[in-house]
Structure 1
Amino acid sequence: MKFNVTIDRDENGIWVVECPSIPGCVSQGETKDEALENIQDAIYQCLQVRAEHGLPLTIETRQIEVAA
């Protein structure tokens, strides 16, 4: 499965990665590569927990265009 993720840096320079289609699925790392590796494990574990609790595995996300 493929998931879109967002990548950002916090005020301390830590890379924060979030998977918007899985509520609460967030990870981080000292480098961008580390953060991306960590989110893969977080996605796997979030999907397992959601399945165990009978929750939908993902929520729908879309891209929209906003006129500036």
Structure 2
Amino acid sequence: MQVTAVLTPEDGGFVAYNPETGTATQGDTIEEALANLREAVELYLEEFPLKPAGPPIITMLDVKEHA
């Protein structure tokens, strides 16, 4: 099963987030953050299985900045 991983650089490491499950974790490197996220998502799915809904649609959008 493939799930989405969103990685954000933060404080010398990376935060990894899976929107399908709401699971988040972190790591010092991208590889570590992904490994930690994989483990967290697998543990989540043991308790709360997901029904496949097709691939996610991922995009970016521009928003106005307010000072």
Task: Give the one of 18, 43, 46 matched to 1:45.
Answer: 43
Structure 2: how far apart are the matches of 1:65 and 1:30? 25
Q: TM-score, normalised by structure 2?
A: 0.69
Distance 1:39 1:50 in 2: 16
Same amino acid, percent of matched pairs = 23
1:31-42 superposed matches below 5 A: 31-42=29-40
Count, aligned residues: 61
Q: Tell me the TM-score normalised to structure 1 length.
A: 0.68
Q: CA RMSD in A?
A: 2.7
Higher helix share goes to which structure?
A: 1
Structure-2 change in CA distance of 1:19 and 1:65 (3 Å): closer
Q: Decide which structure has greater strand share.
A: 2
Name the aligned partner's letter for residue 20 of structure 2. Answer: S
Moved segments of 4+, more than 3 Å: 60-68
- Structure 1 stretches lacking a partner, 5+ long: 52-56
